[in-house]
Amino acid sequence: MKQRYDIEKILTRLPHRYPFLLVDRVLALTPGEKIRALKNVTINEPFFQGHFPGRPVMPGVLIIEGMVQAGGLLLMESESPEIALRLCFSGVDQVRFRAPVIPGDQLIFDVEMVKKRSRMVKMSAAAFVDKRCVAEAKLMALIGGKS
């Protein structure tokens, strides 16, 4: 079953808030399998003031963070919303940045579950602008003890 979320539902799931909430909408979600989420990138983002004056480029670490937040939403829908209290991002591998992300772009985050074993989760993530891959990474998360 594919699901869609608007920003109001995202705010009930993720603990992040401005300026660190990096998912604006969930376009499609299949619990236990994959998620497609969206981030509208605007010149109003606070990081553009210093990164870089005269040539604004979204920091790569924030693109990765958007992927992680999308992955967190996938895990919450696959397990339970309460997992957010016990979820810990634990690693990132094989990161590649393929093109800059600039104001006016719309980032699409595609995250897929690769493996879930006990408390460890591995996901494959990619970010796209206009169907062009701008970044990709392998993400890892740990599900902690009881909340």
Q: Which residue has the tokens 């005269």?
A: 54
Sign of the Cα torsion 17, 18, 21, 23 reads: positive
Q: Any catalytic annotation for residue 16?
A: no
The residue from 9, 16, 25, 51 that is catalytic is: 51
Scored b (16 or more CB within 10 A) or e, 9-47 reads ebeebbeeeeeebbbbebeebbbeebbbbebebeeebee
Give 138: exposed, middle or buried? Use CB within 10 Å, 0-12, 13-18, 19+: middle
Q: Catalogue the active-site residues.
A: 51
